Amino acid sequence: MIEVANTAKDTLHSDEYDRETVEECRRLEQRFSDKEKEGDKPAPWYGLTRDLALYALRGERYRRKEETIARRRNAMAEYHEKLDKAKPASIVYCLACRSQMNVVEKDLRGFGKKEQILFYFRCPECNEMRRFFDNGEEYRPAPPSCIKCSTPVDQTFKREGSKLIHSYTCAKCGYHEDDVIDLDEKPKAPKIDKDFIKDREKYCMSKKEGDDYVNWIVLMELPQTKEMLERYSDDPKADVISQIKKLNIAQVEALLKPAVEKEKYQDLVFGKPEIYQGTVILPFTIQDTSADRNDYDSQLFLKRLIDEALGETNWRAMSDDFGYKLGLLNGRIRGVESEKDLAELARVRQKKQDKVSGSVEDKS
């Protein structure tokens, strides 16, 4: 039974990896397609360059597949092992009826030295909940604050038919917001990639084709073939890419610390870096010592500070990975070095800059 479960998990990891391969290959072909649509007649060798770049990308994805899947599987196993071994610091009793509470869930929070296990306790008698960290400290979330004036808001809960309404009202500035959950609302159907099966056959190498590629790399002693083949002339992003400052982790830390400390963010700590698809993902935690920012403002302001500090470098903040608990923020930044990734980074920044410029022009 365990072997069957592991096989199913490996299949899921393999399918996930193949979907990422398909997306990368689609983006690469789209880049060449956009180049051809710019108006100038492509050079005679342009099509060959495209085919070689695509072949190299497909080959590198095949070459790294088993290693990547194994790393993800091990990371997931390590995560579950930590949760399985974690034990609560003490017995917890219900504050309402004094019954002994039971652990119903565990969760891993933070990174590195800041890593903690959060236990969820439920009372078997009155169904009350309490949460404690593995060091015995009770988790007490800060009350929500007004997004306009940061004053603690009044909360009310009510039900109108099939709708659950959670209302927030600020007594100071009058701001009001309703969070509505419609129990009758049907979940949206997941978006189906109708071309995935066809494109997987096109982009994901078979064992024979992949092994031939790996043998060719070994024989030619070209570990950087992917990057070399992806270099093609007359790239409009070349000048932008050359201006990007390539920093290592130590240099990033030296750049970020003074930038955030000026705005009362202290104790920046980086976690264990992870290499994913040729890029470096670096988790971090930091404390907000300002009493004037709520959780939402703190996350938004920190993201902006990091973006500004890293704006000319090969690093950027991963905006969907910011969290806030009791003044402690966590997030991740991502560093790239290959020409393909630097070109994509330059494209994203240029698109964002064009959007900002357009907004300024509209207002004027």
Going from the C-alpha of 160 to that of each of 124, 169, 180, 200, 312, the distances in angstroms are: 29, 18, 10, 48, 51
Domain that holds residue 285: 242-359
Of 27-31, 128-132, 168-172, 295-299, which one has max mean pLDDT? 128-132
Query: Is 301 domain-assigned?
Result: yes
pLDDT band at 282 (very low <50, low <70, confident <90, very high): confident
Of 134 and 362, which is predicted with more confidence?
134
Buried b or exposed e, range 138-157, using 16+ CB within 10 angstroms? ebeeeebbbbeebeebeeee
CB 56 within 8 A of CB 223: no
> How many Cβ atoms are within 10 Å of 252's Cβ, its own excluded?
22
Question: For the segment 219-264, what is each residue's pLDDT rounded down to a tens digit?
Answer: 665 545 445 545 543 444 555 666 778 888 888 888 888 888 888 8
How confident is residue 93, by pLDDT bands cut at 50, 70 and 90?
very high
Give backbone dihedrals phi and psi of 316, rounded to 5 degrees, phi first.
-150, 160
Give a yes or no: residue 348 inside a domain. Answer: yes
29 domain-assigned: no
Whether residue 288 lies inside any domain: the answer is yes
pLDDT of residue 237: 52
Q: Please state, for a pLDDT cut of 70, what percent of the chain lies above it.
A: 83
Residues contacting 106, CB < 8 A, separation 6+ = 83, 86, 117, 118, 119, 120
Better-predicted residue by pLDDT, 143 or 74: 74
pLDDT confidence tier of residue 25, bands split at 50, 70 and 90: very high
- Would you say residue 155 lies in a domain? no
Residue (of 15, 27, 25) closest to 57 by Cα position: 25
Calculate mean pLDDT across residues 324-337: 84
Mean pLDDT throughout 140-146?
83
In the predicted structure, residue 194 carries a pLDDT above the cut 70: yes
Q: How far apart are CA 325 and CA 201, in angstroms?
A: 45
Q: When comparing pLDDT for 2 and 357, which is higher?
A: 357
pLDDT score, position 8: 59
Q: Report if residue 250 sits inside a domain.
A: yes
The predicted model gives 344-363 an average pLDDT of 62
Tokens of 30: 């789209």
Domain count, the chain: 1
Beta 279-288 vs 328-335: how paired, if at all? antiparallel
Higher pLDDT, 6 or 166: 166
Domain CATH for 341 = 3.30.980
What is the reported pLDDT for 220? 65
In-domain check, residue 282: yes
> Does any domain span residue 206?
no
C-alpha–C-alpha distance, residues 267 and 174, integer Å = 36
Between 207 and 322, the more confident residue is 207
Q: CB within 8 A of 264, min separation 6: which ones?
A: 288, 289, 290
* Out of 5-19, 177-191, 342-356, least confident range: 342-356
Say how many C-beta atoms besides its own lie within 10 A of residue 163's C-beta: 14
Model confidence at 17: pLDDT above 50: yes
- Quick one: 328 exposed, middle or buried, by C-beta within 10 A (0-12, 13-18, 19+)? middle
**pLDDT surpassing 50 at residue 99:** yes
DSSP β-ladder status, 102-109 and 274-276: unpaired
Q: Which pLDDT score is estimated for 96?
A: 92
Residue 245: DSSP 8-state? B
The pTM for the full model equals 0.47
pLDDT of residue 2: 40
Nearest to 109 by CA among 328, 299, 275: 328
Instruction: State mean pLDDT over 318-342.
Output: 79
Q: What is the mean pLDDT of the chain?
A: 82
